[in-house]
Amino acid sequence: MQAYRASLLRFDAAGQPVFDTDGLLVVGPDAAGRQRVLDAGDFGTVSARHPGLAVTHWPGRVLAPGFVDMHIHYPQTDIIGAPSEGLLPWLENYTFPAEARFADPAHSAEVAEFFLDELMRNGVTTALTFATSHPQSVEAFFEASKRRQLRMITGKVLQDRHSPDGVRDRTEQSLTDTEALIRRWHGVDRLGYAITPRFAPTSTDAQLRGAGELAAAYPDTWIHSHVAENKDEVKWARELFPKARSYLDVYLGFGLMRERAVYAHCIHFDDDDRRLMRDTGAATAVSPTSNLFLGSGFFDFEGAERIGYRHGLASDVGGGTSFSPFSTMLAAYYVGREGQTKPGVSIAPSQLWWQHTGGAAHALGLEGVIGNLQPGCEADFLVLNPKATPLLARKTALAGNLEELLFAMIVLGDDRLVERTVVSQAV
């Protein structure tokens, strides 16, 4: 066993913060040899339960769960910050040319390594990420993640129409490749597979139907796609699928709405769409920096809470503008304030943090596994230094309560705040 002493942030079963100013985190191997949280809480109380245990002391630091990014494109690392007038021109001018390069396994491997370095530097220990339509992009990402013993989820993109040469795949071969990748990688160590139609307009009925059949055959896989991000996209989907009640209803018709189905954006929804998300157990990956950058609109946090369906935060790099969860949480705060109808703080700082850790884990169907530091969770955690920069040190010293401390880190934090990223290792 190993024990770490510092301030300690975790969450209860209702997603409310639990904070020990002087805390102790005890980790050790489970029956399979994977490091998990064995005990956590106030230093005096927890240390009394483990007499004689050596303790690593990190004074002035905060131990927090590793962040969970619900939607990110690893092949778009090199197009972050590319200017565009909107989503569809951005795809045409930047995204598809960049993704075509992932036909090269060496390029896929190099970008995967850089991408994972960036995630770790920013404190993201689990991500649900798009690859490209090339199977080698998936192989490279899983191989790099397995070497690092990370819990990561990805899948080959399915797009057999309305896509340029170089990224467009063939219907039957795309489904054959998907099933082969599921059998090769899903459930290996900490890896998970996501069946990944890019978005409904870039897949034929046959491809979407095949994706739904695979989702039924492998029910513990994830489903990962986009929906209702941009008004032009919504209009296009309506033209392509005129029999569907809404853009989201397209996915229901092909068997792609269930638990572990994650849809990015979900901006242009009505309450029937929100109820469909709730009733099927699907989840939204809210991507506020991307939505602000591309002018897509504002996610309705109040509507999601009112109807009561799963949602969590995501960076959506490269449409998003930063790998940093602090940037994502701050953007979510702005978006929440834009859409709120009640006076006061738009989203409490602790709830922003929850939506990027335990709440995101819940949305992914991984509650109790990642995103928290309660006993039984895998030992993915961060060592945060609230004095990492002069302004941050000055502001956090003035914090009178937990919400003020967390908000100071959200507003002023970046990768310098993350002093150390620790992932659950097999021993």
Q: Residues 56, 202: contact at Cβ < 8 Å?
A: no
CA angle 311, 317, 323 (to 5 degrees): 85
C-alpha 373: how far from its chain's center? Answer: 18
Angle at 312 between CA 306 and CA 313, to 5 degrees: 125
**Three-state SS for 137?**
helix
Identify the pLDDT of residue 98: 95
Name the band, by pLDDT with cuts 50, 70 and 90, for residue 83: confident
**pLDDT category, 123, cuts 50, 70, 90?**
very high
Per the document, the length of the chain is 427
Please give the structure tokens belonging to residue 230.
């941009």
Cβ atoms of 334 and 303 closer than 8 Å: no
Question: Is residue 424 a contact partner of residue 34, using CB atoms and an 8 Å limit?
Answer: yes
Q: What are the structural domains of the chain?
A: 2-65+372-422 (2.30.40.10), 67-363 (3.20.20.140)
State the Cα–Cα distance between residues 1 and 310, nearest whole angstrom.
35
DSSP state of 101: G
Running DSSP on this structure, what letter comes out for residue 104? S
The backbone region for 169, taken as left when phi is positive above 0, alpha when psi lies in -120 to 50, beta otherwise, is beta
């990224």: which residue's tokens? 167
Residue 425, pLDDT score = 85
Cβ distance 45 to 20 under 8 Å?
A: no
Provide the mean pLDDT of the chain. Answer: 96
Backbone angles phi, psi at 27, to 5 degrees: -125, 155
- What is the model's pTM? 0.97
Mean pLDDT confidence for 90-103: 93
Q: Give the pLDDT band of residue 339 (cuts 50, 70, 90).
A: low
Q: Are the beta carbons of 227 and 184 closer than 8 angstroms?
A: no
pLDDT band at 345 (very low <50, low <70, confident <90, very high): low
418-422 vs 157-158, strand pairing mode = unpaired
Residue-wise DSSP of 363-399: HTT-BTTBS--STTSB--EEEE-TTSSHHHHHHHHT-
Strands 191-197 and 157-158: parallel
pLDDT in tens, 145-201: 999 999 999 999 999 999 999 999 999 999 999 999 999 999 999 999 999 999 999
